[in-house]
Structure 1
Amino acid sequence: MNEDILRSEGEDVRFRMIGSGLSSLGIFLGATKYMVLKEKKWLAIMCLSLIVILLMAFRTMIAFSVLFLFFLVLKIKGFKRESLCILAGAAIIAFLLLQIPVIYDKVGYMWDKQFGENAETLSNKDYIRNVTLYYYLFDYFKSPVEYFFGTGLSIPGTSQYKTLEYLGSMGIIYLDWGLLGLSWMIGVIPVLCMIIYSVRSFQLKVNPQYYYVGFWFLYLIVSSITTAEFFREGNFVVQAICLYMVEMTHKQYQYENRNTYIS
């Protein structure tokens, strides 16, 4: 089901793209490589990736990109003056990006959604995400078993597809609750497995120049509280490549530090 079609006609247009996870990955990749290798080309990659995230105009994705970028700087540089300089530089870059008209408009759009007269936040009981959560928790499932194992992904032409399409026309879209919403369709166990391998990717020891992979997986989990970013079309391919990468870099770390492991 195309979530863009199901949005209300009055909502500002936001674009999605296949493999959008590459944009957020690019932020952490560029920042990590720049801090470790001191090569300015990585800073350019981070900025270009950040522009894509801003244009997508998801408040959650932008907020957690900034938050995890902050944690990444502290992880690599620690609580030092250099960390403050890097963060100050990031703030200057953000200010310069705001001078681009299309980005300024997107930021203004998100500001209105967060603080405007008709703010769309979870504190508003009439917010459509709150309505969606209430419906799926209390009205959608026929039994606790169905809630745990999910109702299955819909197939065009089936009664379930028509039901979800009808709900979507009213703004009740399970994708708006990210991984939780996905669990309503495919069940709790598969979603827990996704969370487990993401956390494990962060826990594996790797050299500093590869820290970005683990941070990206944590970002995917947290940003997918209210977005479908974790499982957006094409992102599982990106995840597969990153899982392979983190496994290989972990083995490299073990090999380089084999004397430590032996002792």
Structure 2
Amino acid sequence: MKLIYVFIVLCSVHFFGLHFRLGSVVYDIIDFCYFGLAFFILGEYLVKRRAYKFPKKDRLFNKPINIFFITLIISAFSGYFYHNQSPLLTLLAMRYFLYFLIYFLLLRFKIKKQFIIKTILIGAIIYMVVFTIQLLIYPNAIVPLKEGMTFDRGFLRLRLEGVGFVTLSAFYCLNQYILDKKNIKFLFFYFLCFAYVFILGFRTLAVTFLFSSVILIFFYNSSFLKIMKYTIPICFFGFLFFQIDVVQNFIYEGIEQTKTQFESGDDYIRVLTFDFLFNTVNVNFGSIFFGNGMPFLGTEYGNLVLDRGARQNGFISADLGLIGFVFNYGILSLFAFLNILRIAIFKKLPKDSIYLNVFFIYLVISSITTAEIFRAGMFGIEMIVLYLITYTSFINRSTKLILKNNNKL
């Protein structure tokens, strides 16, 4: 089961883009290999009526995810009603949501937490290695690069699938460092992860990462003195990091770019994107509530959004974050999605697992203006975190029951 787990996780990030040299068709082959394997395993469990390895009470996300799937299907039929796009093509366009099935697979595998944490850390290291190699050999490509991609403010805007491993590993390491400050290796790896988040070149992700780190420290202990005890070493390393010229230039240029965007007013690309999607493409409130449907290139609706909108004018729904999510999938799907996130964020966990809550806080905040939480390659990692929350909650509750029974004896 461990090998199957590793394989499906690698499929969820499309092997970190390393399929690129084999041809673009391999991307789809990876998806359909995963789909076939997932449906086969889940189907076998259903036919043979095998029981879950977790009690019903501890399967925290089963119903919320199933409800979310239903709302996505509704959005597909809404796309047919409002834009005459085939529901089958719409479902095919949003097939990445099937990586949510990884949660159900993990419930059946019941893989131990420590093994999964090891795979997360290894995943982060692989991501860093691939990213670094691509950076060094650019413009030669070993992973998919956007057409006309260049360096922006000194950074290659490379959207490599698997960055979720890096952010999750960072929060895990920070959590472990807070538990035991003698383990300086965790603090080192945390800053290494932050360095890679930083060199992505996206202001929102870097700022949200730091903000979420502060939240993690606060969640661990609300005592001001203890917060300062953990924060001072981080601030010291942060100060040293800021002394690097390229870091200072990025920050200063980022501030200037933000000012320019605010001064642009109606000409700001996100404003133009919103106007195009919600005033030109959207039909009425019904299509906002149920969703316009994920566009499929080749249909009239798909050509309008993906060709005329995205390719010709740069109007990409992902740039609107969760608002763009509403355009495609509807308010109904957003509520269902937020319900999953609500449980993940507010589920009370032991102090050594706070990083799991914080990971979703980071994704929600960063997704106000980006598509980080529903970007291709992120769903598999999110399902791993949901499983870890489930596993941790189950172990925690079981331990309390054992202690309670022992006390009675």
- The TM-score normalised by the length of structure 1 is 0.86
* Deviations 1:37-85 (CA, angstroms, capped at 9, x unpaired): 3322211221121112111222222222222211211111322323113
Whether the aligned pair in 2 keeps the contact of 1:20 and 1:232 (CA below 8 Å) is no
**Aligned partner (choices 76, 81, 84) of residue 228 of structure 2:** 84
Do the aligned partners of residues 106 and 159 (structure 1) sit closer, same or farther apart at CA in structure 2, a change above 3 Å counting?
A: farther
> What amino acid is aligned across from residue 254 of structure 1 in structure 2?
R
* Deviations 1:204-249 (CA, angstroms, capped at 9, x unpaired): 1211010001111121111101101101111000001100000110
> What amino acid is aligned across from residue 240 of structure 1 in structure 2?
M
**Aligned partner (choices 135, 141, 145) of residue 286 of structure 2:** 145
**Aligned partner (choices 328, 338, 349) of residue 195 of structure 1:** 338
> Match of 2:287, SS?
helix
RMSD over equivalenced CA pairs, Å: 2.9
Task: Map 1:111-122; keep pairs closer than 5 Å.
Answer: 111-115=255-259, 119-121=260-262
Whether the aligned pair in 1 keeps the contact of 2:174 and 2:186 (CA below 8 Å) is yes
1:209 aligns with 2:348: no
Q: Which residue of 1 aligns with 2:199?
A: 55
1:237 aligns with 2:376: no
- The TM-score normalised by the length of structure 2 is 0.57
Q: Which residue of 2 aligns with 1:36?
A: 179
Structure 1, unaligned runs of 5 or more: none
Identity of aligned pairs, percent? 23
Decide which structure has greater helix share. 2
Task: Map 1:1-263; keep pairs closer than 5 Å.
Answer: 4-5=146-147, 13-38=156-181, 39-115=183-259, 119-121=260-262, 124-164=265-305, 165-168=307-310, 169-258=312-401
Bigger drift between 11-20 and 66-75 goes to: 11-20
Whether the aligned pair in 2 keeps the contact of 1:34 and 1:43 (CA below 8 Å) is yes
User: In 2, distance between residues paired with 1:4 and 1:183?
Assistant: 25
> Match of 2:206, SS?
helix
How far has the Cα of 1:123 moved from its partner? Answer: 8.2
> Match of 1:22, SS?
helix
Whether the aligned pair in 2 keeps the contact of 1:174 and 1:181 (CA below 8 Å) is yes
Whether the aligned pair in 2 keeps the contact of 1:150 and 1:183 (CA below 8 Å) is yes
User: In 2, distance between residues paired with 1:19 and 1:179?
Assistant: 20
Bigger drift between 136-145 and 50-59 goes to: 136-145
User: In 2, distance between residues paired with 1:209 and 1:122?
Assistant: 45
How far has the Cα of 1:27 moved from its partner? Answer: 2.4
How far has the Cα of 1:16 moved from its partner? Answer: 1.0
